[in-house]
Amino acid sequence: MKEITLLGATGSIGTSSLQVLRLHQDEFHLHAAAACSSVDKMLAIAREFKPHRLAMFDKDSAKKLRQQCLDENLDCEVLEGEEGVIEIAGDGEAAQVIDAIVGAAGLKPVLAAVKTGCEIGLANKEALVMSGRLFFDEVKKYNAKVLPIDSEHSAIFQCLPGGLQRTLGFCDLEKYGVKNILLTGSGGPFRTTPLDELENVTAAQALAHPVWSMGPKITIDSSTMMNKGLEFIEASYLFNAPGETIKILIHPQSFIHSMVAFKDGAIMAQLGQPDMRTPIARALGYPERLESGVNLLDFVQAGQFSFVAPDFNRYPCLKLAIAASKMGQGATTTINAANEVAVEAFLKAQIGYMDISRVCAEVLEKTKHDNIYNLEEIFQADSVARECARKVIGNF
């Protein structure tokens, strides 16, 4: 039995992960799960998967859940607060810890898991955007193994030769003849919207993604292509890829999940339905292939595949994230924090749609980006950027 710990168990990736686990109850057991505040969903997980430990970031929610577990005689310890989430992530009982927490909140827990030398199923891209160098130094130090779950990075991982799959964070791409990483994206719901109408986009419009069904923050990020920008940074750390080797390509149908081009002219692509259960199953079962519940892609039904280059006037967030990637970890932490604050403000209708990129640009401009490395410096840069973003928003 392989023990699994699932952080962010009640979200979109968490729910898809549970669907895959449900298909393999003889091979996997859910050791522990963490979430922010969804008591009912966590109770349902406790009933069905019988985990040993649960943690809720929100302390009142943890207290409610603890009482309900007691009332139902569920033999499950319930921890609370950030410390509780970090404790279950790092207790060393799981063979694989999946980090599907959204945003910066996923960083400390995943670093605690890395220290146990386990497999890390990594969906939480913000953790890498903030700490890529430190993260992989820790992975090396504690002999942990990273398995990407973000669909593009899982695709790239699957297209890479085995030697590179085993050296994530330190890949020698040149040695294996890798010339380019082709990171694909759907272009989101506003790919063809006239540019002058983008200012008036509402949260409800931006939350309706044409292809993927995901949590609210990443859905907005997909529409601005900040998501692709964060993925650019994520790829640069995961595959130790210099910025100029990563090319971004819009592929609206999202059947190709990314590609790797080699110096002899060969291009490897990973294809399939746009369904996160495939990359989750790839991570959970690695190196074996698991049933994921996803149907095979029907090429005749799929029809045309098309590709266009991204237009930076339409997607200023993408341009900013690529620029931040060149500036280093201080800038990537800054843009990530500014974006989290801006997206939250947009979802509350406090700022307009195109203001998201304006906030990110202004925060990048107004803060200085030292070449930061350790956790203290990262969280310092994160909070300075959040503070600055709130001020910028206040002045709109």
Interaction site with Mg ion (CB under 5 A): 150-152
Which residue, 105 or 241, is less far from ligand NAD as judged by CB? 105
Site mask for ligand NAD (CB under 6 A), range 60-99, x = bound:
-------------------------x--------------
Question: Cα dist. 118→112, 140, 228, 284 in Å?
Answer: 10, 12, 28, 12
Which residue, 250 or 392, is less far from ligand NAD as judged by CB? 250
Site mask for ligand NAD (CB under 6 A), range 120-149, x = bound:
---xxxx-----------------------
C-alpha 265/C-alpha 344 separation (Å) is: 43
Token pair of 216 as six digits: 């609210």
Q: Could you tell me which residues come within 8 angstroms of residue 179 by beta carbon, excluding any fewer than 6 positions away?
A: 245, 261, 262, 263
Residues 138 and 131: beta-carbon distance below 8 Å: no
Residues 86 and 116: beta-carbon distance below 8 Å: no
Which residue, 16 or 362, is less far from ligand NAD as judged by CB? 16
Task: State the DSSP H helix or E strand holding residue 3, giving kind and residue range, or none if neither.
Answer: strand 2-7
Which residue, 11 or 392, is less far from ligand NAD as judged by CB? 11
Shortest distance (Å) from residue 36 CB to ligand NAD: 3
Q: In the set 4, 5, 12, 156, which binds ligand NAD (CB under 6 A)?
A: 12
**Checking DSSP bridges between strand 77-80 and strand 119-122, what pairing results, if any?**
unpaired
Which residue, 35 or 392, is less far from ligand NAD as judged by CB? 35
Question: What DSSP state is assigned to residue 297?
Answer: P
Shortest distance (Å) from residue 111 CB to Mg ion: 22
Shortest distance (Å) from residue 358 CB to ligand NAD: 22
Closest CA to 332 of 107, 83, 147: 107
Stretch that binds ligand NAD, among 213-221, 264-272, 316-324, 387-395 (CB under 6 A): 213-221
Determine if 231 is a binding residue for ligand NAD (CB under 6 A).
no
Which residue, 151 or 325, is less far from Mg ion as judged by CB? 151
Determine if 211 is a binding residue for ligand NAD (CB under 6 A).
no
Q: Helices H, strands E: what count in the chain?
A: 17, 11
Task: Count Cβ atoms within 10 A of the Cβ of residue 277 and give its class: 0-12 exposed, 13-18 middle, 19 or more buried.
Answer: buried
- Would you tell me which residues interact with ligand NAD (CB under 6 A)? 8-14, 34-36, 38, 57, 85, 100-102, 105, 123-126, 150-151, 212, 214-215, 217-218, 276
